[in-house]
A and B are shown apart, each in its own frame.
Chain A
Amino acid sequence: MRAALRWIRSDLRAHPTQVIVELLVVAGVLTALLLSATVLEGATNPWRGLFAQSKGAQIWLHLTHGTNVSQLRHIGGVTELAGPYTTTAATIVQGPVQSAVELREMTPKMPQIGRLLVRQGSWLRYSAPDGVVLEASFAQAIHAVVGTRLVVNGIDGPTARVRVIGIAATSDQGFYPDQTPGLAWVQRPVLRRVEPVAKHTEELVGIKIADPDSLNTSFVAQQAVAELSGAVQNVSTWMQVEQSMARGDPLLGLLLALFGLVTLGGAVLVILNATGGRVLVQLEDLATLKSLGFTPGQITDMVVAEHAAVGLAGTAVGVVATRFLTVSLLQGIPAAIVPAVVPLPALWIVFIACSGELLVILAAAFPAWRAGRVSAVVAVRRPLPSGHLSQLARLAMLSRFPPAVVLGARAAFIRRLPAVLTVGGLAVSMAVITIGLGVASTVDDVQQHPADIGLAAALTVSPGELNQAEAARIVAADRQVAHAYPSVQVTALLASGQTTITTLGLGTSARPYPFDVAQGSLYRAPGQAVASQGLLDLLHAKIGTFVTMQINGVPVIFHFVGRIVEPEYNGQVLAYGLDTLKEAGVESPPVYYSLVLRPGITASAARAHLLSVSGGRLDVAEVTNPAGQLGIIRPMLIGLIAVLALVGLASVLTASAVGIRDQLRDVGALRAIGLTPGQVMLSLISSTAALAIVAIAIGATAGLLVSTRLINLGAQLYGIGSGIGRPPSAEAMAVAILIAAAGATLTAIWPARRAATIPVAAMLRP
């Protein structure tokens, strides 16, 4: 009603700083939530982003060669056609490994519909007629990078040698190896070479429809098939592709969920504290309103409405900010995690925003209810619960501590609930910031010491066009290489007969690959092996267990002697010396070399050297550090810290306001006795600072205790294995603590200054 609106307007005008901070907290939290949801969505449902960016076609048809596709345009709802493109099936050979591939013929001119998103290298170009562009997931699966040379065999035997010139993402087909064959785009000469017989090729055509909902798509697809019956070899719709691409990424999901929960919790604390604090300051006014005729229900509604309004404004700001910041903030995320960044669907945004607003209302509800129950008797200001001078305060007084500081610090803790809420809010922020710093230091460590996660080797070298002996000679002779470990990668069949895992023979028992063993020891005799946490969990084994597996049909017994941290291969990998295989009688697969470089030599420099020495015929690849994918952590951390800083700021401001109001009477009396305005300021600032210092101490300690354990726990859950957790660096902690303490103190200065200059007489008036 009008009276309530009038009061709300006056109240908002009377406390502009607090209102703005509250608004910013809501906006910040909402932005953080929306961005997290965007990332999560992009990571778990990559199809949507890819499709949007590539302007994909909803239906793809594989047709027999020579089919007339113009009839398709007449089907109701069809707007455009892509292609037709000539395609043929082929095989990529890498030593013994054969991978099925579908070659698609394209030109250097990028199509309008069904574009390809080039991630590395370039698209097809006229200057490289034997160039091939591989689809991203396929390239990763066959360990191909830009510059890799591949051998492509046609079905009937012809061979082509190609060079990878680019890696691209597409929304036409699900990821490899969930969907086979892999996709590769080539120009006409290469296709002709691989499959000279036109009859054996197929036509690929894409259909774009006006109303792309699933029902309609199926309908159109059916019609297309009916139209071209007999010629259709394969149909795929966007629904199939979306489903195939969907994946759960537990680590990212976990991180983002934690992030979301923490920010939400912080926001709730802040609103609870801010509302409660504001009500505390206004008790007399509320009693007056009651005496005028406001019902308790009306007062409750009014307080909730006021904070709901601020929340709504904050929500609006948050949504707008997200719209503008999505692209710029999320640019840095590697495509492996989020193939394409697109804003969330509007419905989701509305849902998240409404949930946020609902939370604001809920957080304000309890203090608002308390406000409604305020006594209507407009008594003289209710006396504070007075504590007696505690031992600590007495001690401090006796020491040389300035009395103003002691008084202020003591006054801060008289009101239990607000003190607890303030300390809680700040401590939680501090603890989470500490954990964040721990994560940052872990990621730094992993990036700078790849040996910790088994990445001692920077390069892997395959013989390529040379033979084994030549390759070994070149590698051995290279001065930049500290040591070259002969390596094999073989699949092992577990005892259950159902599951296969990747196993790595790296080095020999006499000279094992320098894994950083988290538990136990490295393999030093044939039959010994080290395993990752994920594998141990899978086999319900631990260090000391013996496990039998089949490799190429030969049973091999492994003795687990150590645990390593391994993020790749889904966390399930086994490593041992090459001689183990020989002793077991397993036929040795092709050997490649894992090169550990001399300190100071960069991987790219060494690679360039090897390539030049071998005349480009040696196959040299850099080992990607999966921690690179964790590069998303840094921006997330910065965002988290910003939001937490806001939460801390809001808590401090509320504590300031409540503290000043409580102490004003006492301070007035003390000033009348002789405390200077400077001392008054000191006292008021001390009360806020005392709360802040206690909170920071609690938060930092809790964070330090929990941080490493938490990170290791997460790594263990994900299968990487515990052992990578690192505590936050001492410098980072010192800086964070100093900034937090200084920030809290500085924030308290402005209101304290205003309060200190109030004339004494005004302070003493009831």
Chain B
Amino acid sequence: MIARAIPRPVTAADEMLLKITRLTKVFKGSGPPVHAVREVSLSVRRGQFVAVMGPSGSGKSSLLHMIGGLEPPTSGEIWFDGVRVDGLSQAAWALRRRQHIGFVFQFFNLVSNMTVADNVELPALMSGATRRQARERRTELLAELGLSDKAGASPARLSGGEQQRVALARALANRPSLLLADEPTGNLDSLNTSDVLRVLRRVHGQGQAIILVTHDARAASMADRVINLFDGMVADDMDVLPPVRSSVAAAGVIRLGE
């Protein structure tokens, strides 16, 4: 089984959800300036699942932060849903994030002094939903993720996997057009990783666009497309198609016996 890189024909029906052009990020600190991202250009379609891989310091996280407006780019353009967003103020970005972007981080980043329920309801409340609406959406999400009995718990009492699922619920609360995940399984054991990946696969199946920064090959292999960053630039950009036939299986990796 060999993965083939197929150039995808661009049709008029394709709408670009995200288009970035020559995006650059330079960190100026106490030492010499660090070029984290160098003139990266790429586009992501609606519903597409993109994995971004690369060694540490390759700029993956910075790229993700810029796409989500957490970090202003040094230069370049970001177009989101046909609107240019790279020059937006922090306040304008915040409004965008509320409605259109969900974030999941490596260290879960749940608000520590609020319960699980409050954490998941927060985005809905922020977008102007009524208390009842927020509660209904929360109940629905927690049920889908198998966390209904933890609604009243404080984040500190949950295991890593549970916390990450809560973070996912929170990120999906407002049905964002784009889910940005920065090493979501980085802090999880293999069992919890499987759980989280299962959720990602499910929401992708429901049409969610995802950009996933990861080291985990399993996670990356679930994506429609894998981008490999090296030293701030795109080193490889491939579509991972479903395997044509499942033949060699584990024997491709392990040889039993002599």
Any A–B CB pair closer than 8 Å:
yes
Residues of A with Cβ closer than 8 Å to B?
1-3, 6-7, 10-11, 13-14, 282, 284-285, 287-298, 376-378, 380, 762, 766
Residues of B with Cβ closer than 8 Å to A?
65, 68-71, 90-91, 94-99, 103, 105, 107, 109-115, 118, 121-123, 125-126, 128, 131, 134, 156, 170
Q: Are A289 and B95 in contact (CB under 8 A)?
A: no
A2-B131, A378-B105 are known contacts. Are A292 and B121 too (CB-CB below 8 A)? no
A10-B118, A377-B71 are known contacts. Are A292 and B123 too (CB-CB below 8 A)? yes
Give complex CA distance A380, B61 in Å: 13
A14-B113, A293-B98 are known contacts. Are A6 and B90 too (CB-CB below 8 A)? no
User: Which secondary structure characterizes the binding site on chain A?
Assistant: helix
Give complex CA distance A295, B94 in Å: 5
Q: Are A766 and B123 in contact (CB under 8 A)?
A: no
Nearest residue (CB) in B for A299 is B94
Q: Give the top 5 A-B pairs by smallest Cβ distance, nearest first.
A: A293-B98, A14-B113, A295-B91, A3-B125, A295-B94
Q: Which of B95, B122, B170 contacts A6 (CB 8 A)?
A: B122
- B115 CB contacts on chain A under 8 angstroms: 10
Q: Are A285 and B113 in contact (CB under 8 A)?
A: yes
Q: Are B91 and A2 in contact (CB under 8 A)?
A: no
- A297 CB contacts on chain B under 8 angstroms: 91
Q: Are A284 and B109 in contact (CB under 8 A)?
A: yes
Q: Which of A10, A287, A288, A298 contacts B94 (CB 8 A)?
A: A298
The 15 listed contacts between A and B (C-beta, < 8 Å) are A1-B128, A2-B131, A2-B134, A3-B123, A3-B126, A7-B114, A285-B112, A287-B109, A288-B109, A295-B95, A296-B94, A297-B91, A377-B71, A378-B70, A378-B107
Q: Are B98 and A292 in contact (CB under 8 A)?
A: yes
Give complex CA distance A6, B113 in Å: 11
Q: Which of B65, B110, B125, B170 contacts A2 (CB 8 A)?
A: B125
A1-B126, A6-B114 are known contacts. Are A378 and B94 too (CB-CB below 8 A)? no
What 11 new A-B contacts, CB under 8 Å, besides A287-B109, A766-B107? A6-B118, A6-B121, A7-B114, A10-B115, A10-B118, A13-B113, A290-B70, A291-B105, A292-B126, A293-B123, A377-B65
B189 nearest CB across to chain A (Å): 14
Q: Are A293 and B95 in contact (CB under 8 A)?
A: yes
Give complex CA distance A1, B125 in Å: 8
Give complex CA distance A393, B151 in Å: 48
Q: Are B90 and A376 in contact (CB under 8 A)?
A: yes
Q: Most chain-B CB neighbours within 10 Å: which of A3, A13, A762?
A: A3
Give complex CA distance A214, B234 in Å: 85
- B125 CB contacts on chain A under 8 angstroms: 1-3, 6
- A762 CB contacts on chain B under 8 angstroms: 156
Q: Which of B70, B114, B156 contacts A291 (CB 8 A)?
A: B70
A376-B90, A378-B109, A766-B107 are known contacts. Are A292 and B70 too (CB-CB below 8 A)? no
User: Which secondary structure characterizes the binding site on chain B?
Assistant: helix
Nearest residue (CB) in A for B91 is A295
Total cross-chain contacts (CB, 8 A) = 88
Q: Are A288 and B110 in contact (CB under 8 A)?
A: yes
Q: Are B122 and A291 in contact (CB under 8 A)?
A: no
Q: Are A292 and B90 in contact (CB under 8 A)?
A: no
Nearest residue (CB) in B for A13 is B113
A1-B125, A3-B126, A766-B107 are known contacts. Are A295 and B114 too (CB-CB below 8 A)? no
Q: Most chain-B CB neighbours within 10 Å: which of A292, A295, A378?
A: A292
Nearest residue (CB) in A for B127 is A293
Q: Are A296 and B71 in contact (CB under 8 A)?
A: no
A268 nearest CB across to chain B (Å): 26
- A6 CB contacts on chain B under 8 angstroms: 114, 118, 121-122, 125
Nearest residue (CB) in B for A289 is B111
Q: Are B95 and A291 in contact (CB under 8 A)?
A: no
Give complex CA distance A72, B204 in Å: 94
- B90 CB contacts on chain A under 8 angstroms: 290, 295-296, 376
Give complex CA distance A291, B179 in Å: 12
Q: Are B70 and A10 in contact (CB under 8 A)?
A: no
B28 nearest CB across to chain A (Å): 15
Q: Are B113 and A11 in contact (CB under 8 A)?
A: yes
- B112 CB contacts on chain A under 8 angstroms: 284-285
Give complex CA distance A289, B111 in Å: 8
A278 nearest CB across to chain B (Å): 11
Give complex CA distance A378, B112 in Å: 14
Nearest residue (CB) in A for B107 is A766
- B122 CB contacts on chain A under 8 angstroms: 3, 6-7, 289, 292
Q: Which of A11, A13, A292 contacts B97 (CB 8 A)?
A: A292
- A294 CB contacts on chain B under 8 angstroms: 94, 126
- A7 CB contacts on chain B under 8 angstroms: 111, 114, 122
Nearest residue (CB) in A for B72 is A376
Give complex CA distance A14, B113 in Å: 6
Nearest residue (CB) in B for A2 is B125
- B113 CB contacts on chain A under 8 angstroms: 10-11, 13-14, 282, 285
Nearest residue (CB) in A for B96 is A293
Give complex CA distance A10, B114 in Å: 6
- B156 CB contacts on chain A under 8 angstroms: 762
- B123 CB contacts on chain A under 8 angstroms: 3, 292-293
Q: Which of A13, A289, A296, A380 contacts B91 (CB 8 A)?
A: A296
A1-B126, A377-B71, A378-B105 are known contacts. Are A293 and B94 too (CB-CB below 8 A)? yes
Nearest residue (CB) in A for B99 is A293
Give complex CA distance A295, B126 in Å: 11
- B103 CB contacts on chain A under 8 angstroms: 291-292
Give complex CA distance A377, B91 in Å: 15
A114 nearest CB across to chain B (Å): 62
- B170 CB contacts on chain A under 8 angstroms: 292
A182 nearest CB across to chain B (Å): 69
B196 nearest CB across to chain A (Å): 18
Q: Are A291 and B111 in contact (CB under 8 A)?
A: no
Give complex CA distance A766, B112 in Å: 13
- B96 CB contacts on chain A under 8 angstroms: 293
Nearest residue (CB) in A for B122 is A3
Give complex CA distance A404, B100 in Å: 50
Nearest residue (CB) in A for B100 is A293
Nearest residue (CB) in B for A14 is B113
Q: Are A293 and B97 in contact (CB under 8 A)?
A: yes
A374 nearest CB across to chain B (Å): 11
- A292 CB contacts on chain B under 8 angstroms: 97-98, 103, 122-123, 126, 170
- A287 CB contacts on chain B under 8 angstroms: 109
Nearest residue (CB) in B for A293 is B98
Give complex CA distance A2, B96 in Å: 18
B144 nearest CB across to chain A (Å): 20
Q: Are B110 and A290 in contact (CB under 8 A)?
A: no
Q: Are B70 and A376 in contact (CB under 8 A)?
A: yes
Q: Are A285 and B111 in contact (CB under 8 A)?
A: yes
- B70 CB contacts on chain A under 8 angstroms: 290-291, 376-378
B178 nearest CB across to chain A (Å): 13
B130 nearest CB across to chain A (Å): 8
Q: Are B109 and A291 in contact (CB under 8 A)?
A: yes
A88 nearest CB across to chain B (Å): 79
- A296 CB contacts on chain B under 8 angstroms: 90-91, 94
Give complex CA distance A285, B114 in Å: 10
- B114 CB contacts on chain A under 8 angstroms: 6-7, 10
- A14 CB contacts on chain B under 8 angstroms: 113
A612 nearest CB across to chain B (Å): 78
Give complex CA distance A13, B115 in Å: 11
- B126 CB contacts on chain A under 8 angstroms: 1-3, 292-294
Give complex CA distance A363, B121 in Å: 31
Give complex CA distance A291, B126 in Å: 12
Q: Most chain-B CB neighbours within 10 Å: which of A14, A376, A762?
A: A376
Give complex CA distance A11, B71 in Å: 27
Q: Most chain-B CB neighbours within 10 Å: which of A2, A293, A296, A378?
A: A293
Give complex CA distance A230, B59 in Å: 102
Give complex CA distance A282, B111 in Å: 9
B59 nearest CB across to chain A (Å): 14
- B134 CB contacts on chain A under 8 angstroms: 2
Nearest residue (CB) in B for A376 is B70
A476 nearest CB across to chain B (Å): 83
